[in-house]
Chains A and B, each alone.
Chain A
Amino acid sequence: MDYRLYRKWRSWGRGVKEKLNLTGRRSRAVRIWFAEVFLQRQLFGLSSFRWLIHLLIFWGFAALLFLSLALFVFKPLDLLGIDWGLSRFFLKGAGHLFIKIWGDVFGLMLLLGLAAAGIRRLFFRPAQQVNDQLDVFLLVYLVWMTLSGFGLEGLRLMQVPQEVARYSFVGQFFMPAGAYAPAELTWWLTVCWSIHAFTGAALLFYLPHSKLMHSILSPLVIGLNAIEEQERKDLYWPEIAKHRPTGLPRA
């Protein structure tokens, strides 16, 4: 991923450099950026169904990525015996329950978003949609990643008391039936973690080659253009769907 991104960065560097005039424009540009990136206002205007799908996937994916990155920092600290208040709170304190809820809420959002995207892609099939094999592959890949995450969570829940496990309100449905010896569980946990981690790492490597690249570049472009677009006050249209050419599907 890094090398591919580096190559892209070099490639963009061939272009003419521009100076952005930010004087007196920052706050409005930030507001536009927030509305368009975090709330995806334009998409809401185009189709509330598409907006819901994209928002579920966007927030679900972003929040789970954030959780993974946070744990990527906390875990090694814990293993190295470094007692940092924040990592102690989230790994061993009350914050642990918060992590369980966070993971399940956003995991569920991602799963619902992906399911809806699949339904739209396979059943609604809007005329303008490109539906090639790589798009379907990416969708299946993300579903697999989410399910493997829940599977891993289900195994972890086997090691914690029921009063803790109930906070993983989705993960508990993925708990395997029966009783297992701790050594057996550890082996399965290692396998499942490896699969999930490998899937995640592979996605990061695949990202610059896929349409998911827009997840990095779109917010960047929206941010860069927002500085100029604030002067064109009516470029964003919440009622855009009203003007849609007739005879075309809405979804």
Chain B
Amino acid sequence: MAGNSKAQADRIAQGLTWRQLVELEACTRCGECQVWCPVYAQDKREALCARGKLEALRRMVDGTMPEQGQTEFLNSLYECSACGQCHVVCPVRINTPTLWEQARQSLAKAGIRQPESQLKLLSVIKEFDNSYGKPQEKRGRWAELAWEEGFLLKPLTLWRDKPSSFLYFAGCTASFDPAMQAVAVQSARLLQEAGVEFSILGEEEPCCVGKLRRMGDGAFPEEARKRVAQFENLGIREIIVSCAGCYKGLNSDYTGLRLWPEGQRIIHLTQMIERLILDGCLSPRFEVPIKVTYHDPCHLGRHNQIYDEPRRILGAIPGLKLVEMPRHREFSSCCGMGGGLNVAFRELQYKMSASRIREAEATGAEAVVTPCQTCYKGLLNGVEQTSSRMQVLHLNELLIRSLCPEATGARITEAFARHIPS
């Protein structure tokens, strides 16, 4: 059977790095990736695990992949949340998440089409500068509403009016998604409670474009460069990010491209809050008597090694008891929301999150907590799929209950709903 053309193989190979091409052949085929892969656990096809994908990609760059195999490989490449579990367990340390993202970019550049739903989302991001296809003028509306409704201690200042030491970067989801705007409000409130001086960008806040990288859009480096230039022009040196996906984009991806100037700091909200608690600026005081289990978001955990900070925050909340799932920290099972998987293969995401919820239930916890709004939404899908009674909570919510219970997520969402034109 004829393989893919030499010209196509060359184009794909030219989009990968020299090291990645070597990695394709360094796989020992031990199958450890298969044991741990959360996608393979749902659909036991060799093509889905890293070993299968490495072999298929090797054949693609060699020009020996038959047509039928190409279709299967392309599907499997996108049926992956790039969670990085295979990287952690690989005895050869093949940097798989980066490889999958680079392969997606390379294949797209070689003219091989990716899932329509992903292409649609990518064009929305590029057109609207946010992943919700909403006008940018509405981006800072959450801050105005939060002040109007009394959820903040003082109104939030825009960076262009009053630059501060820190910029709070809310991200698209917390800015636009009515179900998640509470995360932005609570993040700002927590920083205010601790006396942190910060500003927001409001309608000037750009999308971090991390999704472009996740789904292999070749425009990512250029778009990222534009955003770094914007931050530099505004004199922003320290950015607090509450979204795990934005943190991965701004911290890992931009840094990987060596875009940031010397001394630029990207701080995840959990890192900031933990510091504030340690410094005595923030003291959770009200009891929150609940038994919870913690879900490590891939973008914070495996991709950025933020494991201890959220756990120490939970430990500081009086009355709260934390129990771990069998798979936690480096081995946390992905909920399926990353890497564009949920965009193209929603059913698969449902299965993955359902599996995670069952694992959380087995701990006997009443709630599963995560500091990532994307995981939060993903886990809610799992609850729905399993008809579970397990609560899904954002980490901010627990802190707010212990610090300023008037700003709970339910109250914020309810108050904001009144402002949505019917």
The reply to whether B305 and A245 form a contact with Cβ atoms under 8 Å apart is no
- Which of B85-93, B153-161, B168-176 faces chain A? B85-93
In the complex, whether B20 has a CB less than 8 A from a CB of chain A is: yes
B347 at the interface (CB under 8 A from A): no
- B28→A15 contact, CB < 8 A: no
Q: Is the CB of A243 within 8 A of B31?
A: no
With A14-B13, A16-B17, A18-B18 already in contact, the answer to whether A214 and B88 are too (CB < 8 A) is no
Known A-B contacts A14-B14, A128-B35, A211-B29; A46 and B22 likewise in contact (beta carbons under 8 Å): no
Nearest CB of chain B from residue A3's CB, rounded to whole Å = 16
Given A18-B19, A214-B27, A243-B331, does the pair A235, B34 have CB atoms closer than 8 Å? no
Q: Determine if B95 is an interface residue (Cβ-Cβ < 8 Å).
A: yes
Contacts of A43 in B (CB 8 A): 91
B360 CB, min distance to chain A CBs, angstroms: 15
Q: Which residues does chain A contribute within 8 Å of B25, judged by CB atoms? A: 8, 213-214, 217
Residues of B near A8 (CB, < 8 A) are: 25
The answer to whether the Cβ of B16 comes within 8 Å of any Cβ in the partner chain is: yes
Query: Are A16 and B93 in contact (CB-based, < 8 A)?
Result: no
Chain A residue contacts of B89, Cβ below 8 A: 46, 240
Contact B28 A214 (CB under 8 A): yes
Chain B residue numbers with a CB within 8 Å of A127 are 35
Q: How large is the interface on A (under 10, 10 to 19, 20 to 34, 35 or more residues)?
A: 35 or more
Contact A46–B305 (Cβ < 8 Å): no
Q: Helix, strand, loop or mixed for chain B's interface?
A: helix
Which of A86-94, A103-111, A223-231 lies at the interface? A223-231
Given A12-B21, A16-B14, A237-B330, check contact A245 B35 (CB 8 Å). Answer: yes
Minimal Cβ-Cβ distance residue in A for B14? A14
Contacts of B13 in A (CB 8 A): 11, 14-15
The docked-state distance in angstroms from the alpha carbon of A129 to that of B29 is 8
Given contacts A46-B32, A243-B331, contact A220 B26 (CB under 8 A): yes
With a CB–CB cut-off of 8 A, which chain B residues contact A46? 32, 89, 91
CB distance from B53 to the nearest CB of A (A): 14
User: Chain B 12-52, CB within 8 Å of chain A: the 1/0 string?
Assistant: 01111111111101111111101110000100000000010
Most buried by B among A17, A130, A218: A218
B327 at the interface (CB under 8 A from A): yes
- Beta-carbon contacts under 8 Å, B343-396 to A: none
Whether A218 contacts B20 by the Cβ 8 Å rule is no
Is B244 an interface residue, CB under 8 A from the partner? no
**A130 & B29 in contact (Cβ 8 Å cutoff):** yes
Residue from B15, B92, B329 within 8 A of A218 (CB atoms): B92
Mask of A224-251 contacts with B, CB within 8 angstroms, 1/0: 1110110011110100100111101000
Query: In residues 30-57 of chain A, which contact B (Cβ within 8 Å)?
Result: 36, 40, 42-43, 46
Flag if B93 contacts A233 (CB, 8 Å): no
Cβ contacts under 8 Å, A17 to chain B: 17-18
**A15 and B32 form a contact (CB under 8 A):** no
Distance to closest chain A CB from B3 (angstroms)? 14
Residue numbers in A under 8 Å from B91 (CB-CB): 36, 40, 42-43, 46, 218
Of residues A43, A221, A245, which shows the largest number of chain B Cβ atoms within 10 Å of its Cβ? Answer: A221
Query: Interface residues of B toward A: which range?
Result: 35 or more
Q: Is A178 an interface residue (CB 8 A)?
A: no
- Residues of the A chain whose Cβ atoms lie less than 8 Å from the Cβ of B90: 42
Please give me the residue from chain B that is nearest to A130 by CB atom: B29
B305 near A233 with CB under 8 A, answer yes
Residue of A40, A213, A243 with most partner-chain B CB within 10 A: A243
CB contacts (< 8 Å) of A222 on chain B: these are: 92-93
Whole-angstrom CA separation of A235 from B97 in the bound complex = 14
Q: How far is the CA of A217 from the CA of B19 in the complex (A)?
A: 10
Judge if B10 is at the interface, Cβ distance under 8 Å: yes
Determine how close the nearest CB of chain A comes to the CB of B260; give it in whole angstroms: 15
Cβ–Cβ contact B26 & A226, under 8 A: no
A211 to chain B, nearest CB (A): 6
In the complex, chain A residues whose CB is within 8 Å of the CB of B21: 11-12, 14-15
Give the CA-CA distance A65 to B67 in the complex, in Å: 41
B29 close to A15 (CB less than 8 A): no
Taking CB atoms, residues of chain B closer than 8 Å to A42 are 90-91, 93
Chain B residue at minimum C-beta to C-beta distance from A47:
B32
B238 at the interface (CB under 8 A from A): no
B109-141 vs A: 1/0 string, CB under 8 Å? Answer: 000000000000000000000000000000000
| CB closest chain-B residue, reference A40 | B91
Does B62 sit within 8 A of A, measured CB to CB?
yes
Does residue A24 face the partner (Cβ distance < 8 Å to B)?
Answer: no
* Distance between Cα atoms of A129 and B30 in the complex (Å): 6
Q: Are B18 and A15 in contact (CB under 8 A)?
A: yes
Q: Chain B: which residue is nearest A20 at the CB level?
A: B19
- B331 / chain A contacts, CB cutoff of 8 Å: 240, 243
Q: A15-B16, A221-B22 are in contact. Are A128 and B305 (CB under 8 A)?
A: no
A126, CB-defined interface residue at 8 Å: yes
Query: Which residues on the B side are within 8 Å of A85 (C-beta)?
Result: none
Distance (whole angstroms) from the CB of A249 to the closest CB of chain B: 9
Output the least CB separation between B230 and chain A (Å).
27
Residue in A126, A225, A226, A229 whose CB lies within 8 Å of B31:
A126
Please name all residues of chain A whose beta carbon is closer than 8 Å to the beta carbon of B17 when the two chains form the complex: 15-18
What 4 pairs between A and B have smallest CB-CB spacing? A128-B31, A243-B331, A217-B26, A15-B18
**14 other A-B residue contacts (CB within 8 Å) besides A130-B51, A214-B26, A218-B92:** A8-B25, A11-B21, A11-B62, A12-B18, A12-B22, A218-B91, A220-B22, A226-B93, A232-B305, A235-B88, A243-B328, A243-B331, A245-B41, A245-B327
Pick 11 A–B contacts, CB within 8 A, sort by A.
Answer: A17-B17, A18-B17, A18-B18, A127-B35, A214-B26, A214-B92, A218-B26, A225-B95, A229-B93, A237-B330, A243-B331
Chain A residues in the interface with B (C-beta under 8 A):
8, 11-18, 36, 40, 42-43, 46, 126-130, 211, 213-214, 217-218, 220-222, 224-226, 228-229, 232-235, 237, 240, 243-246, 248
B contacts, CB < 8 Å to A: 10, 13-23, 25-32, 34-36, 41, 51, 61-62, 87-95, 305, 307, 326-331
